[in-house]
Each structure stands twice: as C-alpha cells, then as structure tokens.
Structure 1
Amino acid sequence: MKLQWRDLDLERGFISIRDPKGKPTTLPLSEAALSVFKGIPRQESNCHLFLAKVSPGHLADMNRPLRKLKQAANLPTDFRICHGLRHHFASTLASKGVSLHVVQKLLNHSDPKMTMRYSHLQDEALRNGAAAMADELNGPAKVIPLDRQPQEGAA
C-alpha cells in the first residue's frame, strides 16, 4: 500500500523496496509484473500506485477486501494472504530449481534459514530430484560394485 511511482523504474524493469522488514533493496521485475504496473493509470496528483482512503498516519484497512478475496478463493478464514503468497512464491521458485540464494535475495531475507522455512519443495520437484539421480546411476557410466574393484597392484 506504500508503493509510490518513484519506487518503480519501468524503463529498466526494477522496483525499489524502501521500507521492508529487512534492508531496503532494488529487485528486478518480471515481464508480467512490469506489464501490470504499466497498465495502472497514473494520476499526476498522487504519488501512490494504490489509491485508497487512509486515516492520518495509517494505511487503508485491507481486511474487508482480503476477506472477500479469501471467500471467493475458498481459503480458510485464518489464511494470511500476503504471508501465504510469499510462501507460495518461494516454494514455486525452489521447486523450479531456482537456487535458494536467489530466492533469499528476492524475498529480501538476511538469513538463509528464514528462506528455507519459506521454500517448501513440491512433491514433483522432489520426485524429479530422485529421478535425476536414478538417471545418473543408470546412464552411460557403469557403476562397479565395491567388492569387484581391482586390487591395488593387481594386473
């Protein structure tokens, strides 16, 4: 809700996160995200992207629209959307093979342990990992059992 137009570099495709829980950072935007931001009508009279009525010193109350969204998506009432979306983002990237270091940077985590808590691998990613090792073992390289290894000095 605090995002301002000055936080976006639509020409280069970056977003600046100025007031996160961690340290301020600048991150690249995907083409899809860039397209969404370019589609938001810009009003020169307002510096914020998301216009909402706010009380002095407070962000707009997002509870009502988030409740409607949760109901429409059949999500549990205790589901925390923003938190859940971060978990989904991290888990999807990890399951697609994106390194945890990259996921950590995109989430702006300072501690890799926190990134590990957010990045739950999907069953398919684990299955693919197991299959990759099986492919390696069954591939062109032959595995010689330890009891059949040549003895040192034997011809």
Structure 2
Amino acid sequence: MNDNPNPLFDWGKFIRSFTGEESLFSSLHDDGKVDAYVEQIGETVRTAMSKAFPVREPAVKTASVFESHRSVFIRWKVPKDADAYAIRIHVNSRRVRLSNIKGHPDFSVPLPVPVTTKGSRAGIRGGILEIRLPKSFRRLKEKEIFIRDL
C-alpha cells in the first residue's frame, strides 16, 4: 500500500534529497543543454540591450556647479573635438541646457537655486567653459546667453 496521499509528488524522493541520498532533480537528464540554452538567451539579451541603449560618455560628467552668495557658477571642460564658440547655452530659472556640441548629445545641468540671465556671463579660458548666473527670486522663461573670451 502507498503511504503517499498525493500521487503527483514523491515525498520519499523529496526526503532523500535532503539526506543527500538522491538529488531532487535526478530524474532530469541534463547533458549541458540547459546551461548552453540559458547562456545563449543571456547573450541575445545583452546584444539587444547594447544596440537599443548604446553606452556613451556623458558630457555632463565633468560639469561642476557651485554657488556664492550672489551667483551660481557652472564650469565644464569643453571636449577637444567641439567648436567651443558654436555651443549654444539656454538658461531658465532652474536649469542650464548646453546644445550644439559636436559629437556629443545635448544635456541639461540642474541649478540649486533660481537664477536670472540679467547680468549673466559665459566665457572660455583654457578649454573650460565658465557660466556665471546671478541668483533671482523670479521665474524666468528660457533665454540664450552667448560665449565670449575671458
């Protein structure tokens, strides 16, 4: 007589797997096909993801933002292959957007406090773009500022 009330599950085999007498999955014959299949799926997913989301060096990586009691400063190392004077700088009260950078995507730099473009300056010295923006308490529509020599 069978003591197992559930004929679909072998409790004896389950208990023997804990004592080490038998593997719970010993009835499956794996000759490496499962591992190869899983590896093939992993490679397919990695290839698809790398095509869908290419890895780029972010241009914002080297931008630094700091503030004084009156102004917010942004410093960014201009890439060697970019035409520094072709870069477009757009400012609104909470962010600065840099665009038209040859070979690099446009990017935005969030600002810690609201700013205004009135009295702002942007210049390049030694391959470093420096933008000075006076602090403000008013909201500002986006405006463009222009780069000049320092």
TM-score, length basis structure 1:
0.25
Question: Which is greater in Rg?
Answer: 2
Higher strand residue share: 2
| Greater RCO structure (CA 8 Å; 6+ sep) | 2
As a proportion of its length, which structure holds more helix? 1
Normalised by the length of structure 2, the TM-score is 0.26
